[in-house]
Amino acid sequence: MDVIPAEPKSRLLAGPREERLLTAFFVLYKTARIIEENNATFKRQTAGFARCLEECSDEGGKVHIKIISSRYFINDRMVRFDDRGLSGAAAVVSEWDSLGVGGVRFASDIEHAEIEQFFTFMAQVKPNSENLESLSEHLKAYHMSSVQLLSRTGAEDKEAMVSEEIRREFRRGARSTFFKAMSVVKEVMVNTKQERDINISKTKRVVHSLIDHITRDEASLIELTAIKDFDDYTYAHCTNVCVYALTLGVRLGLDRARLSQLGMTALFHDIGKVKLPTDLIRKPQAYDENDWIQMQTHPHLGAKTILRNLTFDTHAARAARGALEHHVNKDFTGYPMLRRPRSKKSLNLFSKIISIVDTFDALTSGRIYIRKPIPPEDVLKKMHYQMNVKFDGFLLKIFNDIVGIYPAGSVVLLSTDEIALVLTNSEHDKARPYVKIVGNKQGILEQPEWADLSAEDNAHRVIVRRIDPTRYGLDVKHFIMCD
């Protein structure tokens, strides 16, 4: 397998201390709304928050908490924080939005009484009748000198400065997780082949890391699915299928427990292939009838392997079902032949998701079943035609949104005769993504240039068309990895 690049420790991402502080902050915010100031729980949480402030203090004895574009920063380091949990963070974010508040600054030696006073005060704020200025006046009037509200404008300026660095940081983190996932898939497959135990907690951990990345920035992982020239594509294929499936799951609004099961199902969907002869898997020519008969046993072998080698729980049950059903079509054709249960009109959701993303990756890679890669847009068209028989129309539409037009990882030609790698799709204008310019008329650039095509100063750069990198001998993997 290809070498896994080491990742430097992040300067821009915060650690567990900051995560604890942010959790304590939102918990206190919520508690202040529901209980009295002198309540024992409130006092305990206040003391915990004060300890977190001390731990996170900057050199000037201050702690800045900022929210910029739904991302959380403490002292300008971004915090990985799941705001969909019980902390009520999302409600605070929308309240700050309407008040024009972009953050809050605490003196790290703030008295407990002042912390209680601040949160009690914020709990009573009515967003429609107040704004940043009036709130700041109140804080002054109440002599709260160790806490100050910050404006959104200041925070936005900061965003312009850090956004590119943050994007790179995201991509580095995503890369590290992606290669970790690939090595976990390899370990699982090798161990299964040799009838050894599978480390299921390691697998779950890597799925959770993938979920964290996708919920924050799906593009940096989708981009990596464009690398098709791995030595052993099977491991990359399972990882790609997992990334696509989780991205679809996140867009569907599945909760974390279901996402975790979906991720595992995706990673294990082809595990039955380890029970087939390696010569068949790696056969360079097209399959003959005999090969196909053998290949079509992998769903069944996969389900059996999962049920035999994993402790039986919801994850294992779902993964076994996904392995068994991922080549069964919407109309129950495909393989293996399953009898359509009378009570059920369609396959289960996970099998339908895996079927779509598995087909897409197999056809675009040209490394599984067919020996020639097909461009993503042609694959999507083909899949669309087969929608009535094979795929769930609603799920296919969402998937099309994820990888449509210029998916992250596409190589495109610009009107300026430059060649660029698509990095992030803009929600507002999918035709003008964020790109990395890797070549021009003179040839491949030594230092790539980053460009936001939706920005005014890049108005002269328009995407002319997608380029098939293999046709021009371009090394997508190199373009993706060079920063």
Please state, in angstroms and rounded to a whole number, the distance separating the CA atoms of residues 404 and 376.
8
Output the six-digit token pair for 414. Answer: 């610009």
Please report, as a single letter, which amino acid is at residue 41. Answer: T
Alpha-helical regions (H) of 329-470: 349-365, 376-385, 393-403
Q: Between residues 31 and 203, which has the closer beta carbon with respect to Fe ion?
A: 203
Q: What is the DSSP letter of 72?
A: E
Of the listed pieces 64-72, 201-209, 274-282, 353-361, which binds Fe ion according to CB under 5 A? Answer: 353-361
Question: Which residue in 370, 267, 264 sits closest to 317, CA to CA?
Answer: 264
Count the neighbouring beta carbons within 10 Å of the beta carbon of residue 478: 12
Which one of 146-154, 282-290, 355-363, 422-430 is the stretch in contact with Fe ion (CB under 5 A)? 355-363
Choose between 115 and 306: whose C-beta lies nearer to Fe ion.
306
Q: How far is the CB of 357 from Fe ion (least distance, A)?
A: 9
CA distances (Å), 152 to each of 132, 155, 157, 175, in order?
9, 5, 9, 31
We find the least distance from the C-beta atom of residue 156 to Fe ion, in angstroms, to be: 44
What residues between 387 and 416 interact with Fe ion by CB under 5 A?
Answer: none
Nearest approach in angstroms of CB 365 to Fe ion is 10
Contacts of residue 120, defined as CB under 8 A and 6 or more positions apart, other chains included, come to 32, 37
Which residue stretch of 78-86, 259-267, 356-364, 455-463 sits at the interface with Fe ion (rule: CB under 5 A)? 356-364
* H or E stretch covering 252: helix 233-252
Query: Least CB distance from residue 269 to Fe ion, whole Å?
Result: 6
Q: Which residue lies nearer to Fe ion by CB, 217 or 358? A: 358
Q: Least Å distance between CB 313 and Fe ion? A: 23
Q: Which stretch binds Fe ion (CB under 5 A): 29-37, 103-111, 214-222, 354-362?
A: 354-362
Beta carbons within 8 Å of 278's beta carbon, 6+ residues apart = none
Return the number of the residue (96 or 268) whose C-beta is nearest Fe ion: 268
Query: Of the ranges 82-90, 165-173, 357-365, 454-462, which one interacts with Fe ion (CB under 5 A)?
Result: 357-365
Q: Is residue 325 near Fe ion by the rule CB under 5 A?
A: no
Size of the site for Fe ion (CB under 5 A): 2
Q: Between 167 and 326, whose beta carbon lies closer to Fe ion?
A: 326
Nearer to Fe ion, 223 or 358 (CB): 358
**Phi then psi for 62, rounded to 5 degrees?**
-120, 160
Nearer to Fe ion, 83 or 358 (CB): 358
Asked if residues 106 and 147 have their Cβ atoms less than 8 Å apart, the reply is yes
Smallest gap from residue 270 Cβ to Fe ion (A): 4
> Which part of the chain contacts Fe ion (CB under 5 A), choosing from 157-165, 182-190, 358-366, 419-427?
358-366
Q: Which two tokens stand for residue 120?
A: 């009690």
Please list the alpha-helical segments (H only) found in 142-223.
Answer: 152-193, 200-222
Position 337, amino acid: M
Q: Residue 358, interface with Fe ion (CB under 5 A)?
A: yes
Nearer to Fe ion, 259 or 357 (CB): 357
Minimum distance of Fe ion from residue 234's CB (angstroms): 9
Q: Which pair of structure tokens corresponds to residue 381?
A: 């068209």
Letters for 248-277 (x = contact with Fe ion by CB under 5 A, - = none) are ----------------------x-------
Query: For tokens 């310019």, what's the residue?
Result: 437
Tell me how far apart the alpha carbons of residues 27 and 166 are, in angstroms, rounded to a whole number. 27
Beta carbon nearer to Fe ion, 266 or 420: 266
How far is the C-alpha of 369 from the C-alpha of 148, rounded, in Å? Answer: 62
Min separation Cβ 191 and Fe ion, Å: 19
By the 8 A CB rule, do 160 and 150 touch?
no
Query: Closest distance between Fe ion and the C-beta of residue 393, in Å?
Result: 21
Residues in contact with Fe ion by the rule CB under 5 A = 270, 358
